[in-house]
Amino acid sequence: MKTSDLAHLVQLVLGTTIAEPVVARLQERAEGDPRVVLDVLRHALDHADGPIVGLEAAVGNGIAPPTWLFRREGDYWMIRYADRIVRLHDMAGLRYLAVLLANPGTTIDAVAITAHGRRRTRGITAEQARLAVTKSVKAAIARLDDVHPDLAEHFRTAVRRGYRCVYRPDPRQTARWSVG
């Protein structure tokens, strides 16, 4: 997206003209991903001190956390983490991770997670769900270990599996996931 197009989009969404350096920082931060632009604009609109202050906070001085990406694109997942992008073929463990990443800090029953990745869940026991989710997530992390060891390690430390699962990243980590 050209800087002038981005400036026009920001003006339409926020209802005012934004200084060129702010738009340039937004374009740099987005790295060509329109979802990042939308996340930043949402942040700006929700800012307590108004959208202009919110936009400047989101793109300036690293105040706003970076956005990592975990997005399904047909039969593949595009994952951006720590300035690296990898694409992995779809597998149940990645679908289960997406559910957890979309709900950080929320404990979710394995049966509910399995419902997102399976066609038939009627009659599945809690033990069957626990085993399916644990095995699938472990396999996904092992596959990630081959292409993005840092991300695999992040998931090993931040994802808890069992009857109840949770994605709980280190609280000092300010980045957040955009899941889709």
pLDDT of residue 170: 85
- Which residues, in sequence order, are bridge partners of residue 176? 67
Residue of 43, 46, 98, 49 whose CA lies nearest to 66: 43
Question: Degrees (nearest 5) of the Cα angle 41, 45, 46?
Answer: 115
pTM of the model: 0.65
In angstroms, the CA 176 to CA 46 distance is 16
pLDDT of residue 62: 45
Q: Are 146 and 154 in contact (CB under 8 A)?
A: no
Q: For residue range 4-58, what is the model confidence (pLDDT) as tens digits?
A: 777 787 777 777 777 777 777 777 777 667 777 777 777 777 665 667 666 766 6
